[in-house]
Amino acid sequence: MHGFAIDVEVKWVRFPSVASTGTKARWTVLESSTDAANGAVREKYRKTSCQAKGSGVFRKTLSEVGSLKARSNTMKKLVMTAAVLACAASVVTAQTVTSANMVGYAKVTAVGGQLTLVALNFETGGLTVNELFGSLPTGSVINLWDKGANAYVTSNKGRAGFSPNPVVTLGSALWVKAAGTATNQIILSGEVLLSETNTVAVTGLDASGYFYPVETLWGDTDLAVQAPAGSVLNVWNGVGYSTYNKGRAGWSGNPAIGVAQGFWLSVPSSITWKEIRPFDID
């Protein structure tokens, strides 16, 4: 087992090219929060893992977002300055596959008492609210939009964690409201969707997010193109909604949809959202 610790701004990490199908990577994510009242920093390590589906190398240069600290079991320190880095994975000799396997991270800042509309840009393989947001203090509230029921599933954090504890899937959107006044840093992690397209049906009003962990302009998404006239986009700006309508002249604005940022879309008639992967892989 090769071990290291990192303290670097990263967006994605990938398995080393020698990793193979079945390789399981494990790492620990350090989530930090700052108490606004006294500036005290609290840090908490959370273990996570991912099963490799294959190996590959990215062609695209990845931009940097979020602050990620990870450490291995051996705690050998190694500061990485690149945006893309190898993950601590067991290296085994096995068959080489053509598909790549990427693990992504996104940092979400949740200030106590304030609302943040978050979307999950990763495939987590069934992680729940508790597993994703368990580091938030007791009294925190998560409102997950249930796309099927068109209603919120409200989870409150008590001593035993969040209850109820629904699974959060790729493209899900939810409200995070941390208790207290501290600033909480949450690291969302999972596998980056690598399929060339992702298709879902959108009907009526829906809270959603982009399928890929990259910032994109709204107008560049297939969703913006497919949405018929009369559609409305609501993006949370921290204190209220920024509302954009689609009319004869197109959208009334072209906001950037950030990594892990959720949004509301209302469509007057059902559409099929077929988003194309916005990056290349080997």
The footprint of other proteins on residues 6-45 (CB under 8 A) is none
What are 194's two structure tokens?
């690598």
Smallest distance, other proteins to C-beta of residue 109, A: 17
Q: Does 249 bind other proteins (CB under 8 A)?
A: yes
Element (H, E) at 145: strand 141-146
- Our CB check for other proteins shows the closer of 138 and 237 to be 237
CB 16 within 8 A of CB 86: yes
Smallest distance, other proteins to C-beta of residue 124, A: 22
CA torsion angle 203 239 145 51 (round to 10): 110
Smallest distance, other proteins to C-beta of residue 267, A: 10
Smallest distance, other proteins to C-beta of residue 195, A: 29
Nearest to 122 by CA among 214, 45, 54, 199: 214
Cα→Cα distances 152→18, 65, 176, Å: 43, 29, 12
CB 104 within 8 A of CB 121: yes
Residue 50 CA to residue 12 CA, distance in Å, equals 13
| Residue located via tokens 């018929």 | 228
- Our CB check for other proteins shows the closer of 138 and 154 to be 154
What are 128's two structure tokens?
């729940």
Element (H, E) at 265: strand 262-266
Q: Does 202 bind other proteins (CB under 8 A)?
A: no
Nearest to 54 by CA among 112, 24, 99: 99
User: Total residues contacting other proteins (rule CB under 8 A)?
Assistant: 24
Q: Return the residue of 11, 71, 107, 246 that touches other proteins, per CB under 8 A.
A: 246
Q: Does 240 bind other proteins (CB under 8 A)?
A: yes
Q: Return the residue of 33, 128, 143, 184 that touches other proteins, per CB under 8 A.
A: 143
Cα→Cα distances 136→34, 123, 132, 164, 234, Å: 12, 21, 9, 15, 26
**Region of 3-11, 128-136, 179-187, 264-272 interacting with other proteins (CB under 8 A):** 264-272
Smallest distance, other proteins to C-beta of residue 59, A: 38
**Region of 33-41, 104-112, 122-130, 245-253 interacting with other proteins (CB under 8 A):** 245-253
Q: Return the residue of 41, 205, 217, 256 that touches other proteins, per CB under 8 A.
A: 205
Nearest to 27 by CA among 42, 46, 11: 46
The footprint of other proteins on residues 152-191 (CB under 8 A) is 152, 175, 177
Smallest distance, other proteins to C-beta of residue 229, A: 4
Residues near other proteins (CB under 8 A): 115, 117, 143, 152, 175, 177, 205, 229-232, 234, 240-241, 243, 245-249, 252, 264, 266, 268
